[in-house]
Amino acid sequence: MSTTFSSYNARTGEVLGTLTASTAADIDAAANAAAAAFPLWQASSGAQRATLLRALAAGLEAGREALVALADQETALGPVRLNGELDRTAFQLRRFADIAERGVPFEYVDDPAVAGAPPAGHPAMQRWSVPLGPVAMYAASNFPFAFSVLGGDTASALAAGCPVVIKGHPGHPQLTRQTWELIQQVLAAQKLPAGLVGLVQGASNEVGVQLVRHPAMAAAAFTGSTRGGAALAAEAAARPRPIPFFGELGSINPVIALPAELQAKGAELATTLAGSIALGCGQFCTNPGVVVLLDVDAEARGINDAFVQQLAQALAGQNPHAMLTQGMRSNFEKGIAHWGEAGASFVMHEVAAAGQPPRPVLAQVGAEAFIAKAALREEVFGPSSLVVRAASVAQALQVLQAVGGSLTVTVWGAQTESSDAQALVRGAMAIAGRVLFAGVPTGVAVTAAQQHGGPWPSSTRPESTSVGDAALARFLRPVSLQDAPAWLVARQGRPL
């Protein structure tokens, strides 16, 4: 039995096309084809992997015009952003190509025999890494290139030696299909099995659930909401053979601004922050959803009040584009309403004209209420931020503890060492995967030292990252070889 689902124009809601959802048999076939491609791909050299990844980057660039136009229709993210995102996606593919070519997936620890009795004596050992197997990759809505079909998860999994089965995001299903067809052309040109990168699509949760339950899947990578990610993570753990689930979930990314810093350059920081809040219509997992201000005395209160006004003004000048889907728009309105119900007061809450994109929202609440009410700590996906007024550094630390886990925390004003700065940095590092001391959390560099993943609920595996060079390590596991024969040692870490 096959069902259909639609592609929509994100700006107008108009139906752009109708697609056939993957059936249980389709999902089974994609998973089995990935498993069948695994032996060949795990034994591939770094050069082979690099050749594939570079051809995928080139294919993406060659198809740029049509892909960006389609992405713009399905997501409303606009050609400037989408071209930039495509560049980043090609950059990522080439970066993982370089990593594979340098032999990173094949690095091993050589541990020659030590004569004598244990515990000091031991046999010859080598600690290799082997790819986990087929990876179920759940595409995100908000990055139709960089966290979708050919995004960082696919690039790092292929570089690690793992086939991939993509669960396309229903927010951009035609773009998903076209990007996947591009991959199929590259695979065919390189005489690689079509099953090395599979695709399943559909609008129901059932497609994703069936995929994570499939016995051939060895790992899952996910970018999306906390609710969806937690549900799939539970599925991964409940399998007869549990598999690792690398979920990058929701995050509220507190920005803590010290009064002295706001006094020195409040206007500039307000402009920067407003741009970050409204960027991409606020549809970033690193969107600064909470701004913590320290009302340590009357002077600080005055500075903070002024900053809130500056921020509201700067936000008023922002004109967010349409949201990715009608459902997200509706969730945004609901999230804002929850803030009001939980006692936040609105500094800025314009009602958008019918059919127009949302206006930025700024609300404010005391730290005690924020700490007491979970509803105030839920991610509101969209162009909004909640100012939390804390009476002291100690209370600001309680605010961070109440947040519990976040992809990022930003601390403005910790450039000089002090006990307050130390305490805030300690509190920030305790709950975040990335701590910033300047600028804003949106914009995640694809680089060696990146960490995109923080404590629960911001990710399911805070020891891993979905962006940056270390993303590859998610899909490898160590195997020690004891007294390995010369012919195996000669492979220098490359699995058979």
Q: Which of residues 447-486 bind its own copies (CB under 8 A)?
A: 447-451, 455-457, 460-463, 465, 470, 476-485
Tell me the C-alpha distance between 494 and 464, whole Å. 23
Interface with its own copies (CB under 8 A), residue from 92, 176, 458, 466: 92
Instruction: Determine contact, residues 384/332, Cβ cutoff 8 Å.
Output: yes
**What part of residues 102-141 is at the interface with its own copies (CB under 8 A)?**
108-111, 114, 118-120, 122-123, 125-128, 130
| Shorter beta-carbon distance to its own copies: residue 30 or 218 | 218
**Known catalytic residue at 285:** yes
**Known catalytic residue at 268:** no
Question: Shortest distance, CB of residue 154 to its own copies, whole angstroms?
Answer: 16
Tell me the C-alpha distance between 110 and 24, whole Å. 45
| Shorter beta-carbon distance to its own copies: residue 272 or 313 | 272
User: Residue 415 interacts with its own copies (CB under 8 A)?
Assistant: yes
Question: Shortest distance, CB of residue 470 to its own copies, whole angstroms?
Answer: 7
User: Residue 302 interacts with its own copies (CB under 8 A)?
Assistant: no
What phi and psi values does residue 406 have, to the nearest 5 degrees? -155, 150
Tell me the C-alpha distance between 475 and 39, whole Å. 15
**What part of residues 2-41 is at the interface with its own copies (CB under 8 A)?**
39
Largest CA distance in the chain: 81
Tokens of 253: 């990314």
User: Residue 80 interacts with its own copies (CB under 8 A)?
Assistant: no
Tell me the C-alpha distance between 125 and 145, whole Å. 42
Residue 342's SS3 state is coil
User: Residue 340 interacts with its own copies (CB under 8 A)?
Assistant: no
**What part of residues 239-268 is at the interface with its own copies (CB under 8 A)?**
241-242, 244
Residue in 85, 101, 235, 248 annotated catalytic: 248
Tell me the C-alpha distance between 241 and 405, whole Å. 28
| Shorter beta-carbon distance to its own copies: residue 15 or 445 | 445
Instruction: Determine contact, residues 281/382, Cβ cutoff 8 Å.
Output: yes
Interface with its own copies (CB under 8 A), residue from 188, 237, 264, 394: 237
**What part of residues 160-219 is at the interface with its own copies (CB under 8 A)?**
none
| Shorter beta-carbon distance to its own copies: residue 1 or 417 | 417
Q: What is the DSSP string of 477-488?
A: EEEEEES--HHH
Tell me the C-alpha distance between 179 and 155, whole Å. 14
| Total residues binding its own copies (CB under 8 A) | 78
| Shorter beta-carbon distance to its own copies: residue 301 or 477 | 477
User: Residue 430 interacts with its own copies (CB under 8 A)?
Assistant: yes
Q: Do you know the residue count of the chain?
A: 496
Q: Is the dihedral of CA 175, 179, 184, 185 positive or negative?
A: positive
List 137's β-bridge partners, or say none: 166, 221
Instruction: Determine contact, residues 431/403, Cβ cutoff 8 Å.
Output: yes
Q: Is the dihedral of CA 53, 55, 60, 61 positive or negative?
A: positive
Q: Using CB under 8 A as the criterion, what x/- string covers residues 379-408 for binding its own copies?
A: -------------------------xx---
Question: Shortest distance, CB of residue 125 to its own copies, whole angstroms?
Answer: 4
| Shorter beta-carbon distance to its own copies: residue 200 or 440 | 440
Catalytic residues: 248, 285
